Amino acid sequence: MVDGGEPEGFGNWYDEKQGDTGDAWHRTLIDPGLFARIGTVTAGTRVLDLGCGNGYVARRLARMGAKVVGVDASDALLERARAREQAEPLGVVYHRTDASDLRMLSDRSFDLAVANMALIDFADAAGAIREVGRVLVPSGRFVCSLSHPCFDVDTRSAWQVEMALGSTTVYRKVTGYREPHSDIFPWRLPDGKVVRTVGYHRPLSWYVKELRKAGFVIVDLEEPAPAPDYVGVRVQKEWLEQIPLHLVVEARLEPGTPGPA
Ligand SMILES: C[S@@+](CC[C@H](N)C(=O)[O-])C[C@H]1O[C@@H](n2cnc3c(N)ncnc32)[C@H](O)[C@@H]1O
């Protein structure tokens, strides 16, 4: 969510940044791990994209044949997502809502839910996880990517690089890990305006416990390493090969999970 509202140009900037395939950073670092855990999506698979942004993941899944619903709290991003749907109809339906309130979606109506770098932006991520547990069918899967809670604690973490006698050692400094907290991230738009988004850190055990409470078991994890064609900040490639800054979780709703009251 943008702190202090969505300034003019925000939706266009984010939409242009992510485009139809995700920006270079997503394409070559996060998405290979995300899609590895999503696996094969067959025609008619009912997919929920939570915090869908401009909808590039939703559209990618729709092109595989999935029936996709995207939800997001940002009017500006949904406007862009709907414009893309209009330009290339793929049957993706979008709703504007807080992810912790999916009342427009029926119980047990999705096979797969995806949240790409989104739970970390939700103030009520526990509520969102509960809602995903409600709308998924038993044995339905929830695949989400996060900033790695252990190594990427917003502004409370940093690289530390030591060079000595021709060798370089990379460390990741982390503080404030245990305490759930929020932080502000400034993004500079092309016109020089600065947009601030809010992100939320929760420790790894928080995610495991909230997923368990909602009836999920974790079945797999990815800690994405840069792809060979990684085009992010060049110097970080070797560091990211050693220490992951992202985590992808694949959870499955336990078949015996009681249905909603
Ligand atoms: C980092 S962006 C990721 C967007 C998209 N999944 C992607 O990969 O491009 C996080 C998204 O979560 C949305 N968001 C933030 N808080 C939300 C909330 N409480 N409910 C629904 N969406 C929210 C933002 O508007 C934004 O689109």
Residue nearest to atom 18 of ligand 1 (CA): 98
Q: Cα–chain-centroid distance for residue 220?
A: 16
Let me know how long the chain is: 261
C-alpha 240 to ligand 1 mean position (Å): 24
The model's pTM is: 0.95
Q: Is 99 in the pocket of ligand 1 (CB under 6 A)?
A: yes
pLDDT in tens, 56-115: 999 999 999 999 999 999 999 999 999 999 999 999 999 999 999 999 999 999 999 999
Residue identified by tokens 């928080």 is: 206
Residue 234 lies in a domain: yes
Residue 218 lies in a domain: yes
With 0-12 CB in 10 A as exposed, 13-18 as middle and 19+ as buried, what is 13? buried
Residue nearest to atom 15 of ligand 1 (CA): 1
**Domain around 94:** 10-149+201-253
Residue 183 lies in a domain: no
pLDDT in tens, 125-180: 999 999 999 999 999 999 999 999 999 999 999 999 999 988 989 999 999 999 99
Number of separate domains in the chain:
1
Residue 191 lies in a domain: no
Among 18, 72, 122, residue to substitute to test ligand 1 (most atoms within 8 Å of Cβ) = 72
| Contact criterion met (CB below 8 Å) for 171 and 160 | yes
- Cα dist from 37 to 80, 141, 145, whole Å: 27, 10, 10
C-alpha 161 to ligand 1 mean position (Å): 32
pLDDT in tens, 12-55: 899 999 999 999 889 999 999 999 999 999 999 999 999 999 99
pLDDT in tens, 183-222: 998 888 888 888 888 999 999 999 999 999 999 999 999 9
